[in-house]
Amino acid sequence: MSSVGIDARSVLEKVEATYGLRLPRKVVMIDYEEDGSLYIRFRNVDHTEGEPTPDGKVIIHYEPKGKIAAIEIMNITTL
């Protein structure tokens, strides 16, 4: 589970510990942008509702049934 030298497992563990979340273990897609943003998709769904964490560093995307479908880390260097 890595992309462009990023240890995705460590990133997910850090997000879980920081925000008290339990994230899915199956990763469908990882997208890393040059600006430092990282998008990790756990489920393929047509529509999600994004909710930022209180500090605004991560957006948690929920599918209509309320399960976490993806997370978007605005800048992985700030985690």
- In angstroms, the CA 73 to CA 79 distance is 8
pLDDT in tens, 10-26: 999 999 999 999 999 99
What three-state secondary structure class fits 32?
A: strand
pLDDT in tens, 22-33: 999 999 999 999
pTM: 0.89
pLDDT in tens, 43-75: 999 999 999 999 999 999 999 999 999 999 999
Higher pLDDT, 8 or 56: 56
The answer to whether residues 2 and 8 touch, using CB atoms and an 8 Å cutoff, is: yes
- Range of 50's domain? 2-78
| Number of domains forming the structure of the chain | 1
